[in-house]
Amino acid sequence: MSEVFAFHLDRILGLNRSLPSVSRRSEFFQGGQACPVILWDSSLSPTDNSTHSSVRLTWGQYQQLLKKKCWQNGKVPKAEWGCTEIHHHEWSKMALFDFLLQIYNRLDRNCCGFKPLKEDSCVQQGLKLKCNDQDAVDLMHIIQRRHDQRHLAFIDNKGFFDRNEDNLDFKILQGINEFPASAVSVLRSQRLRERLLQSLFLDKIYWESQGGRRGIEKLIDVIERRSKILLTYINAHGAKVLPMNE
């Protein structure tokens, strides 16, 4: 169900990269319990079976791409840089989004940046044991659209609201030194709660499934605390806040 919250957060932050997701009840699924329904986009590029990505990258390759700032300011990258078609700013948007929701499966599938629970997929699959060679770890769910190779589409946005502030995955932010101005302005505006409440209220089934306003407020509490931590991180690291509307 965190996919639904992720969709609303994505729109409020002005990223607009997630597939539309709503809550619905059906007697055919989970005995009539609320479940997420995600609008599939037929324009998404084909993916491989192992990383579910349209562009295959290891963590080491990804870090090198961040240093090259591929396609930033319209500059055509040199062939030897190994750039993909993906615009440099897309990684900043993904990292900000994934940090707020603590979506680790895209950029840190082996859980190398935090202490996972035994229920986390990386522990279940024994991936946590493979953190010694992090550069060789594949990124997951790096998806483009066929007609728009420069931008990413965010899928499988499974967020975690139960991760304590002293166990957040900062590896998600590694190598990112620029953040989207539109999203940061929302986090700084002190209107994040208001806007999330207004947006989530439109999905009545999701609202009710989370225990009404009290349950929704608890989820927003988590995101607000993480947003303050992220803003502190941006200031402490001297990261730039830039318009990213290319």
Give residue-wise pLDDT tens across range 81-121. Answer: 999 999 999 999 999 999 999 999 999 999 999 999 998 88
DSSP 63-125: HHHHHHTTTGGGPPPPGGGT--SS-HHHHHHHHHHHHHHT--TTT-TT-TTS---TTSHHHHT
Element (H, E) at 6: helix 2-12
Under the banding of pLDDT at 50, 70 and 90, the label for residue 63 is: very high
Across 218-223, average pLDDT:
98
In angstroms, the CA 17 to CA 29 distance is: 27
Q: What is the pTM of this model?
A: 0.95
In angstroms, the CA 79 to CA 71 distance is: 12
**Cβ neighbours for 68, distance < 8 A, ≥ 6 positions apart:** 77, 81, 82, 83, 88
Q: Which two tokens stand for residue 140?
A: 């997951």
**Cβ neighbours for 103, distance < 8 A, ≥ 6 positions apart:** 6, 97, 157, 158, 159, 160, 172
